[in-house]
Amino acid sequence: MSTFRHEPSGKRFLFVHIPRTAGRFFEQNLLNVNNFVWDDKVDIDRQYKSIDGVELAHFHREYYEKYLDVEGIPHITIVRNPIERFISCSIFLTELYGEDIDEMLEDEMYFYSMIENYPLAESANWFRPQVDFISDKTHIWKFENGFGDDFASWVSDILEMDITIRADMKVDKLSTNEARKVKRSAKLIDNITSLYRQDIEQLYPELATPFEEGT
């Protein structure tokens, strides 16, 4: 999460970095290919530190409006199918609780307890619903639409400048093992859809069952 500044033109924008939505890939394209830098109004040393218990890199709306200079500049974010996002994010759960947690996550009580009591301070927003990150000012791209020419054109139109996206852009690997994701099951997906009901209703209504749509 940060404001970015285009060095040649001075144009600024806010990238709302929702965890596990290819945000680091996009940021590296901005920094390494498109002449953007972290905005000098942001304390660079705090990019991956916590402020009031939330990692600056993943500030949600309440925090970036409070702590960052975002008024009057474009806001861009990437959202992701809530079920796929949770499965991707589950590597942090297996790292802490162990790889044999599939049955526990199928139990609704354990499911919420494991997320709510995750002890790392920087994890505060890893499992936060995506709707908490966006406002009516936010331009939204869906992860499922890919990051090819259409994505580059979309960003270019918003920022009113030519943006290049390199699909082969490499990002630093996380220390967490990406292969250690939880296994899908009907019960787990029920819990995920319950947790992210608002995300589904507002961003991915195609995932809602007819019963859910009527409740």
Domain coordinates of the chain in residue numbers? Answer: 2-213
CB atoms within 10 A of CB 108: 13
pTM for this prediction: 0.91
- The b-or-e profile of 4-22 (16+ CB within 10 A means b, else e) is bbbeeeeebbbbbbbbbbb
Residue type, 1: M
Chain centroid offset of residue 182 CA:
19
Please give the pLDDT value at position 211.
45
Q: How far is CA 17 from CA 22, 190, 211, 212, in A?
A: 9, 26, 32, 28
* Consecutive H or E run containing 59: none
- Per-residue pLDDT tens digits for 146-205: 999 999 999 999 999 999 999 999 887 765 667 789 999 999 999 999 999 999 999 999
